[in-house]
Structure 1
Amino acid sequence: MSDKVIKIGGASGYWGDTALGPKQLISHGGVDYLILDYLAEITMSILAKARSRDPEAGYATDFIERVMKPWVREIADKRIKVIANAGGVNLEACRRALEAVAEEAGVTLKIGTVEGDNLLERADELRQKDLREMETGAPMPDRVMSVNAYLGAFPIAAALDAGADIVVTGRCVDSALAVGPLVHEFGWQPEDYDRLAAGGLVGHLIECGAQTSGGNFTDWEETQAGWENTGFPIAEVSADGSFVLTKPPETGGLVSVLTAGEQMLYEIGDAHSYVLPDVICDFTSVTMEQVGDDRVLIKGARGREPTATYKVSATHMGGFTCIGSFVIVGRDAAAKARRMGEAIRNRTSSMLEEEGLPAFTKSDLQVIGAEAMFGDQARPEARQVREVVLRLGVHHPRKEGVELFSKEFVGAALSMSPAVTGVTPGRPRPSPVVSLFSGLIDKDQVPVTVKVGGEPVALKVASLRGQGQPQPAAPVESPRVS
């Protein structure tokens, strides 16, 4: 077994994350690879809409403006390879922007792209093939804004095999950004299920950026002193898939069994059957051991044969929403706020009926400051506070419905509760609602193309078309903490 160790830094957890991550990891992280995750489901619809207005838009511009422009010379000098799903729905425009940045900086970088996830032009075909929602069985909506398959790690590895310094993808599973470099470096094969599962855990732990190194940590008192410079995560990975999770020196945050454990459980559903394109992961036997300050040794992930399908997510219009807020102060503030919210909702509901419009599909009334989020578990004394925020939101299938609400929400300021003041100036703004549809598509129906320097690269396998199926896990009494 090789004693080589590959250091991968997770520099971005979403589009809009702080520029601190790239700065830390590039300047003093000592990393071999920098990965950046930009894409959420809602992001795909935003990018698709942007490209419809501008053929050069549709990718995560922060990657160019906040990462590559400031750091491209140091990235090249230190030979750090960069993997990012910043391509969104316009990989070629992103590639051209990268080339322009490199040329301006006077550096030469080979840029790889992974294409094939964007299935928007095949929406009618997918509908005809009766693509169904994977949870409800509902048919695919007639009008969609984006349709993307979640690709795996092997196309990224193929680009690296062909000499790419930077690999830009569209939609792939977040963890693939880390697994791809590990497949490339260690020669992992599609049937190396345990190692692929271990790599999946590496990616899962670092793709949310600083959330695994002290951000959002339950025991916040242990980390709050360093929030100004919370460290971003680094995984030091060995060929067998075991790894040490750490962060750059002299940064805030915390890497401990508990911070890593919280992130491991984040968004995985069933830890026994965490389904990725390349492997079904079993994290129930994972061990975490504190081996130094801000150093946790993690091993024990197991893998099974992958499924025959990719997950596909489509975004579509789901009506309109509008949310209004007032600050209400003084005696009985919580009671006044709740009654005022009820009255505004009742008033506007009656007006909808008078206008011949459908009723609100949903409404949500919250009295923030009186433990609204705790529901029946709120403490009685919370109702006695003297300052609250009334927050009332409605959903309607038509824009006219929420526009009526917007006008009438502000119109209640002088006709209901005393001691009302505003949170934001003017009327609350109606917004379109983007809804998510997720289904499964056979891997054979999703051709994947890899290019480096604009030239096609041979791809042996995009993702193994296995026959694996998720298996329910037996209950676990408690985690084992060392």
Structure 2
Amino acid sequence: MSKTVRIGCASAFWGDTCTAAAQLVHGGALDYLVFDYLAEVTMSILAGARMKDPQAGYATDFVEVLTPLLADIQRQGIRVISNAGGIHPQACAAALQAACDHAQVPLKIAVLLGDDLQPQLKNLHGITDMFDGTPLPPVCVSANAYLGAPGIAQALALGADIVITGRVVDSAVVSAALVHEFGWSWHDYDRLAQAALAGHIIECGAQCTGGNFTDWRDVPDYEHIGFPIVEVSADGQFTVNKVDGSGGLISELSVAEQLLYEIGDPRAYVLPDVICDFSQVKLQQQGKHQVRLHGAKGLPPTDRYKVSATYPDGFRCTASCLIAGIDAVAKAERVSQAIIGKTAELFSQRGWAPFTDVNIELLGSEATYGAHGQRHDTREVVVKLAVRHPSKQALVLFAREIAQAATGMAPGLTGIVGGRPTVYPLIRLFSFLIDKSACDLSIHWQGERHTCALPAAQALVTPAAPIDPPKTTGRADASVPLVKLAVARAGDKGNHSNIGVIARAPEYLPWIAETLTPEVVVDWMRHVLDPVHGRVERWYLPGSHSLNFLLENALGGGGIASLRIDPQGKAFAQQLLEIPIAVPQHIADQFN
């Protein structure tokens, strides 16, 4: 029987469930257990934690979750790879080593370093944002390059049982294991693309096993949802499955939603080790809760890393309260405007600057739907007031003035969430590109430092030209909402939203594409797009009968800076699924 490698992912973000690792270790028959902890916002949180405590700066959940499983991991020979190191991988390794020593389980731990560029920032010149060209801010709290898989693979070759990294691309924890196990060349780009695809599918944990799935009613047992496992062959093809008896759902559509998640241009998904073309990837159900994926292609990578830096930009404060009763929406509008107006007047009297930004959302009135909102008669709304200002002192005053509305403004105001709101620093993301040679990669292993050399670069190749979706044939004389014809999922990258739309059947795709043009999506989602810089791109993926949309500048500043209730655009796909699609009557009749 040909060799396969089984890899399970136990974490999609810092704060994910503590139950996944035990589920996978006890029931997954794994070769590797991987954890992904680092979102863009996480690095700035960890940087702040380390400023307060020199031994902080890593995902402490990792050590807590792994400690009770150490003996089982050693007994089964499972190797562990995680980016839990955050901005202080060595402290993470020290904490885990202490846990191993206490449990008397002699696992060998390696640490990959080289992603942290914070000490070098003052020596970098001419750095500009990769999206809008603005210069590097004078003060950054973190700056980390997205490393690839070679350093992790080298640590595995040295004999590490556990590899801890700082910032690496999410899929690298899977790619490295596969390159190590199968001995693939770093120039075998098609296999590297398949490895990256395997990592991409499971990097968000239960999002490919029924979590966040459009057809949520079909997903059983959320309480015990299974976390994903990929079983990969030497040719790079793989199946996605989960522990027998666990909850959730693995189907072509649930996995396809994750395939398109946050990839932008599917013909040129840029990673440090390979540029992936996922446009021809095919998904095939292989049995209950098992889907096979193949067809990813790869091109040589660029000679640069993407770097995510975070920097402070004033302060933010968010207050929420309930307003109930007759004309709740009208009362909420007046009260929220009065609070902003009063505090702005107080700022002026003190000689302070006005608010930098104000965001008012009346939750329950379909405020996030813009012009598509349909609820105008609701008798209860949650007022969410979010504001930004250069001065912490000004927002402390704003926070203090909220409570007066309970006795001095409209009736029915109650339930100020969390009491007086707290003022926090507002952290923004700054993304740029840097030559790979600027990063000094090394592996710390059993008291020694091992230099990590990158594979020799190869000439870049132009990605394949985009393919137009098939044209419709026949007459559209009816319409149905998009959700009848497709599933969809939204994700984010910086200030951009990515919405993947997958046809439920291949014959639906031409009709979806006919209606769902970039211009139509701009009009439908106008309420979230920046009025000046907002735009929409669309790509067709023939392998999965799907369309991928990138909504540029649609998140009000992005996940860590936006004042919106939905700063990552997680609900955007749900809004798009209501758009009417013109179809022939015989298709519409299928849903009657």
Q: Note whether the superposition's TM-score is higher than 0.5.
A: yes
Residue of structure 1 in register with 2:236 after alignment: 241
Residue of structure 2 in register with 1:266 after alignment: 261
Structure 2 CA distance for aligned equivalents of residues 459 and 432 of structure 1: 37
Q: 2:117 aligns with which of 106, 119, 134?
A: 119
Residue of structure 2 in register with 1:352 after alignment: 347
Matched, 1:154 2:150: yes
Superposed, 1:175-194 pairs within 5 Å as: 175-194=171-190
Q: 2:83 aligns with which of 68, 85, 101?
A: 85
Structure 1 CA distance for aligned equivalents of residues 133 and 93 of structure 2: 38
- SS where residue 426 of structure 2 aligns? strand
Superposed, 1:10-409 pairs within 5 Å as: 10-66=9-65, 68-126=66-124, 129-223=125-219, 225-379=220-374, 382-409=375-402
Q: Deviations along 1:272-312, whole A, 9 cap, x unmatched?
A: 11100001111000000001000000000011110110001
Structure 2 CA distance for aligned equivalents of residues 236 and 144 of structure 1: 41
Asked whether the 8 Å contact 1:190–1:464 carries over to 2, the reply is no
1:465 shift after superposition: 6.8
Asked whether the 8 Å contact 2:323–2:331 carries over to 1, the reply is yes
Aligned letter for 1:389? Answer: V
Name stretches of at least 5 consecutive residues in structure 1 with no aligned partner.
Answer: none
1:54 shift after superposition: 2.0
Structure 1 CA distance for aligned equivalents of residues 461 and 19 of structure 2: 40
1:201 shift after superposition: 0.7
Aligned letter for 1:242? Answer: Q
Q: Deviations along 1:121-177, whole A, 9 cap, x unmatched?
A: 111012xx2111100111111111011111000110001011110000000000001
Cα 1:287/1:53, change in 2 over 3 Å: same
- SS where residue 389 of structure 1 aligns? strand
Structure 1 CA distance for aligned equivalents of residues 460 and 12 of structure 2: 31
Residue of structure 2 in register with 1:455 after alignment: 448
Structure 2 CA distance for aligned equivalents of residues 87 and 58 of structure 1: 8
- SS where residue 12 of structure 1 aligns? coil
Asked whether the 8 Å contact 2:442–2:449 carries over to 1, the reply is yes
- SS where residue 10 of structure 2 aligns? strand
- SS where residue 368 of structure 2 aligns? helix
Q: 1:411 aligns with which of 378, 399, 404?
A: 404
Cα 1:475/1:142, change in 2 over 3 Å: farther
Q: Deviations along 1:358-381, whole A, 9 cap, x unmatched?
A: 1111111111111111111011xx
Asked whether the 8 Å contact 1:120–1:146 carries over to 2, the reply is yes
Structure 2 CA distance for aligned equivalents of residues 292 and 463 of structure 1: 41
Asked whether the 8 Å contact 1:14–1:38 carries over to 2, the reply is yes
1:53 shift after superposition: 2.3
1:475 shift after superposition: 4.3
Q: Percent identity?
A: 47
Structure 2 CA distance for aligned equivalents of residues 425 and 165 of structure 1: 44
- SS where residue 119 of structure 2 aligns? helix
Aligned letter for 1:5? Answer: T
Cα 1:387/1:303, change in 2 over 3 Å: same
Q: Deviations along 1:359-411, whole A, 9 cap, x unmatched?
A: 111111111111111111011xx111111111111111221221221112222
Further displaced range: 418-427 or 187-196: 418-427
Asked whether the 8 Å contact 1:371–1:378 carries over to 2, the reply is yes
Asked whether the 8 Å contact 1:111–1:452 carries over to 2, the reply is yes
Runs (4+) of structure 1 exceeding 4 A deviation are 462-466, 468-472, 479-482
Structure 2 CA distance for aligned equivalents of residues 326 and 104 of structure 1: 48
Asked whether the 8 Å contact 2:280–2:543 carries over to 1, the reply is no
Further displaced range: 392-401 or 419-428: 419-428
Q: 2:466 aligns with which of 457, 464, 473?
A: 473
Asked whether the 8 Å contact 1:309–1:465 carries over to 2, the reply is no
Structure 2 CA distance for aligned equivalents of residues 422 and 475 of structure 1: 52
Q: Deviations along 1:33-53, whole A, 9 cap, x unmatched?
A: 000011112211222222222
- SS where residue 226 of structure 2 aligns? coil
Structure 1 CA distance for aligned equivalents of residues 363 and 380 of structure 2: 9
Structure 2 CA distance for aligned equivalents of residues 24 and 104 of structure 1: 23
Asked whether the 8 Å contact 1:270–1:473 carries over to 2, the reply is no
Q: Deviations along 1:424-466, whole A, 9 cap, x unmatched?
A: 2431111111111010000111120023223233534268475
Structure 2 CA distance for aligned equivalents of residues 106 and 144 of structure 1: 41
CA RMSD of aligned residues (A): 1.7
1:264 shift after superposition: 1.1
1:481 shift after superposition: 5.5
Which structure has more RCO (C-alpha within 8 Å, separation ≥ 6)?
1
1:192 shift after superposition: 0.8
Aligned letter for 1:28? Answer: G
Asked whether the 8 Å contact 2:150–2:176 carries over to 1, the reply is yes
Asked whether the 8 Å contact 2:441–2:453 carries over to 1, the reply is no
Asked whether the 8 Å contact 2:299–2:460 carries over to 1, the reply is no
Cα 1:144/1:481, change in 2 over 3 Å: closer
Cα 1:465/1:444, change in 2 over 3 Å: farther
Structure 1 CA distance for aligned equivalents of residues 183 and 453 of structure 2: 13
Structure 2 CA distance for aligned equivalents of residues 197 and 414 of structure 1: 61
Structure 1 CA distance for aligned equivalents of residues 95 and 140 of structure 2: 28
Residue of structure 2 in register with 1:433 after alignment: 426
Name stretches of at least 5 consecutive residues in structure 2 with no aligned partner.
Answer: 471-508, 510-541, 546-592
Structure 1 CA distance for aligned equivalents of residues 72 and 160 of structure 2: 17
Residue of structure 1 in register with 2:549 after alignment: none
Asked whether the 8 Å contact 2:392–2:423 carries over to 1, the reply is yes
Structure 2 CA distance for aligned equivalents of residues 316 and 470 of structure 1: 34
Q: Deviations along 1:337-366, whole A, 9 cap, x unmatched?
A: 122112212222222222211111111111
Cα 1:203/1:120, change in 2 over 3 Å: same
Superposed, 1:4-15 pairs within 5 Å as: 4-15=3-14
